[in-house]
Amino acid sequence: MLTQEEKKAQFEEFFKIAHPLNVNVLPLATNTPCDFSEFEAQMPYAFKLAGQFSGIDGGLLRSLKLASQDSEALVAFLEAQSQKIDWMLSYILEQQDDPEYRHNTVNFGGGGMVIDHNAPFEVGTLAEIKLFVPSEHSAVYTHGEVITCEAKEDRYHIGFLFSHIRESDQELLVKATLHLQTQQLRARHKVNANE
């Protein structure tokens, strides 16, 4: 069992980016952690499907690009088909977003997130989390544990450490933070260039 300090250190291991994402947070009925197989059994099917789709075509398209210059038209066609599937999957995942439990992230990364909430959460509270990542046409299902709860005027910033998360979903969140940071840097350079 990790100490509170070890949990905070684990939370800080991953880069986090300040960016608002829709997230559903639902405290678990029991505050006893489940094992990973139980976690996977509880995962909604749409999230399992998204995880299976996420890594399928990236490597195949790279292989085709390297194989031959003659495959450019085929690669373009397959990329268009992949984009259609991404949009459809994104639509399916959006149906999992429950407005009753919706909040916004203050920041997020591969190890956890901070949400803005109107009420405090007790440190140690376990929750089911659905994190929607439109920039990646995906969403992540995870379990989290409250490791911080800070008052911010009349709101609270609640930090969750992802206690159960699939490796592929963690990689997706890391990739999303890097993509968003790249977009922010490009926007900053554009503003600086126009001044």
Q: What is the pLDDT of residue 135?
A: 82
Confidence (pTM): 0.81
In words, the CATH class of domain 8-194 is mainly beta
Contact 116, 103 (CB under 8 A): yes
pLDDT per 10-residue tile (average), the chain, 195 residues: 88 92 93 90 86 59 60 70 69 82 96 96 95 87 96 95 94 91 87 80
Contact 47, 90 (CB under 8 A): no
Burial class (CB in 10 A: 0-12, 13-18, 19+), 167: exposed
Domain boundaries, the chain: 8-194
Q: What is the pLDDT of residue 57?
A: 53
